[in-house]
């Protein structure tokens, strides 16, 4: 990622994460009244035509408290397998862990996208979930199957068409001094802009 983007990212963090994140809290509370980024991609991602799970604090609250900021991003997880066209609800709930599917021995191929609310920046990762017995593992993968690759590329194209730039690991893992998030007193750029709870697979492993 080029230096102008890096400079913009660090400038945003340094301006909004100081003074107990007062400015950021004000921005976030305005956003929650009109979550335009969420609404935009909720509509755009319908074009991918695959099962997708949405996670965002904006769907759970209408105001951030002084004690907790939460994340300032939306997290979308796409399930790419061609034989998955819906979420199992046979047990009376939506099984987003895909327990029955994993018990068949097949791996889940997923694409997860983090989208910042205030900067046109996103992070994306393709990964696999597999289960042997009671042991469930996650690992990053390179999408090879043509059907799955088509879905993955659809997500990339949507981000590009809407003017969003992909964040590199190099920038995401930069430590930011003199700021903190709810769950991390020594945060990275990723912690600040995306999430200090929902991490990419290889960030958790490392």
Residue 157 has pLDDT above 90, yes or no: yes
| Confidence (pLDDT) at 1 | 46
Rounded to the nearest 10 degrees, the angle between the axes of helix 3-16 and helix 22-33 is 100
> What is the spatial distance between Cα 46 and Cα 155, in angstroms, rounded to a whole number?
10
Q: Is the pLDDT of residue 200 over 60?
A: yes
**Three state DSSP letters for 117-157:** CCCCEEEEEEEEEEEECCEEEEEECCCCCHHHHHHHHHHHH
**Res 205 pLDDT > 90:** no
- 77 contacts 187 by C-beta, under 8 angstroms: no
Question: What is the phi/psi pair of residue 56, to 5°?
Answer: -165, 140
Q: What share of the chain is helix, strand, coil (3-state, %, to 5)?
A: 40, 20, 40
φ/ψ of 87, rounded to 5, equals -95, 135
| Rounded (10°) CA dihedral 47, 156, 32, 64 | 140
Burial 146-172 (b: 16+ CB within 10 A, else e): eebeebbebbeebbeeeebeebeeebb
Closest CA to 149 of 126, 116, 123, 122: 126
Give the angle subtended at the CA of 162 by the CAs of 22 and 144, to the nearest 5°: 110
pLDDT digits (tens, 9 = 90+) for 98-153: 999 999 999 999 999 999 999 999 999 999 999 988 898 999 999 999 999 999 99
What's residue 182's pLDDT?
A: 83
The pTM (predicted TM-score) of the whole model is: 0.92
CA distances 94 to 10, 53, 78, 100, Å, are: 39, 10, 15, 12
Q: Band the pLDDT of 190: cuts 50, 70, 90.
A: very high
Among residues 88, 106, 110, the alpha carbon closest in space to that of 98 is found at: 88
- Encode pLDDT of 27-80 as tens digits: 998 998 899 999 999 999 999 999 999 987 554 444 555 456 778 999 999 999
Task: Kindly indicate the confidence band of residue 189, based on its pLDDT and cuts at 50, 70 and 90.
Answer: very high
Q: What's 88's DSSP letter?
A: -
């Amino acid at each position: 990622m080029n230096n102008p983007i890096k400079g913009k990212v660090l400038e945003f963090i340094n301006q909004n994460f100081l003074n107990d994140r007062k400015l950021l809290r004000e921005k976030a509370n305005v956003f929650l009244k009109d979550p335009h980024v969420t609404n935009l991609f909720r509509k755009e991602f319908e074009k991918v035509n695959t099962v997708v799970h949405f996670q965002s604090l904006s769907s759970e609250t209408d105001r951030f408290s002084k004690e907790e900021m939460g994340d300032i991003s939306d997290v979308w997880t796409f399930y790419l397998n061609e034989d998955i066209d819906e979420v199992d609800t046979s047990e009376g709930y939506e099984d987003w862990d895909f327990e029955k599917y994993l018990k068949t021995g097949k791996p889940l191929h997923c694409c997860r996208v983090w989208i910042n609310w205030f900067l046109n920046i996103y992070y994306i990762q393709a990964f696999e979930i597999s289960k042997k017995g009671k042991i469930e593992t996650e690992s990053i993968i390179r999408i090879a199957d043509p059907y799955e690759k088509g879905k993955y590329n659809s997500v990339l194209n949507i981000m590009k068409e809407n003017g969003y730039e992909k964040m590199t690991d190099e920038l995401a893992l930069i430590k930011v001094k003199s700021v903190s998030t709810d769950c991390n007193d020594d945060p990275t750029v990723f912690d600040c802009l995306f999430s200090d709870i929902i991490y990419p697979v290889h960030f958790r492993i490392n």
